[in-house]
Amino acid sequence: MVEIESIEYCGLVYDLMVADDHSFVAEGIVVHNCAMIPLVEGYPLPQIPSAREWFERLEPDEQKHMMGRGRWEAWQDGLFTFDQLVTTHDHPWGPSAHVTSLSDLLRGRGGIGGVAIDPAALLAAHKETKSHKPAKPRTAAVDENDTQLLQKLLADVTDGDYLPATKKAVTKALLNLLSGGHKGFVYFDEDGELESVVSYENSGQYLKVTGLGLVYPQEKETLKVLADLADAAAQNKQGISLYVPNGVKQQYLNWGFLVQDSLSDGAVMKLPASDVAAFKKDPAGFGQKQAEALTAAAQAALADPAASFTFRTGQPIAGLPFSSVKMKSKQF
């Protein structure tokens, strides 16, 4: 029995996740020198897209996997062009492509140069290769019951080559999760490497973040964590509260978070429960939309002498000749 893994719209059955120095048949997939061969006769080559068209139709994750980490980002940044990437433009597998029937291939024919191939042996080799394919990025919800995973991650971080600040933050979040009473999320990239970890506890009106360690402290990774925290907070109709260092305080303000308490080295910031649902829908754009709506409302209030406008504590109004202040109780 031959299991067909995937069939492309133009009648191709293939798998690109193989070494480029051999050809084989495995699970109904035919690859010649990491090229694609039609399994069914009758599909003329002009129906098949060019290499550029075919590659550009792939999902970004597929493109990244084929190019490898680093090269895909460089291509996206314009450091080299597609023409510099490939040498064959007419079709993905080059001008020597030919049609091979599945029945001939299963009888051991169809190897490059007419050399016989052993489907059974190559199937076993292919399955072994497939087991080492990178997985897609994944997120795991964790708590103290995931002791084995958390202890392994803690050991890996302790022995790993991380920046001191990164190691400290990741370790703190993992220890919180192991100590009990905390929940959180662990994030892995497409290679199965730890990307970030966050711990939190439910504290009254707010979901309080107790630890946040980002191996790659970039906007995309941070927003992914915040979106998951917003989803968890929404389930209990809570807001989000977390400590933010001074270096990234402005970024959180731009995302729509408010200053709850100012500290010497940062601030405790919050996202009120009333904002959680809207933030969850658009983490990257929520702050900008909120600022625009707030500014419009304030300007409308200023234009009407009889109108009143209420500020939230710590909420700046961009573009207006005044700003909000936090009053001390003794001033009343």
DSSP for 275-290 reads HHHHHHH-TTTHHHHH
pLDDT of residue 308: 63
pLDDT of residue 47: 54
Phi, psi of 316 (to 5 degrees): -80, 155
CB 102 within 8 A of CB 150: no
The reported pTM is 0.54
pLDDT along the chain (332 residues), means of 10: 40 43 42 40 50 76 74 73 52 39 48 52 58 64 90 91 90 94 90 90 92 87 93 94 93 92 92 94 91 80 68 55 49 39
User: CA-to-CA distance for 48 and 271, rounded, in angstroms?
Assistant: 51
- CA 276 → CA 197, 222, 235, distances in Å? 21, 16, 10
pLDDT of residue 51: 62
pLDDT of residue 54: 74
pLDDT of residue 138: 81
pLDDT of residue 95: 35
Domains of the chain in start order, with CATH, are: 23-130 (no CATH), 138-289 (3.40.630.30)
pLDDT of residue 17: 46
CB 95 within 8 A of CB 55: no
pLDDT of residue 226: 95
* Neighbour-count burial for 147-181, b at 16+ CB within 10 Å, e otherwise: eeebeebbeebeeeebeeebbebbbbbbebbbeee
How many CA atoms are closer than 13 Å to the CA of 194, on its beta-carbon side? 26
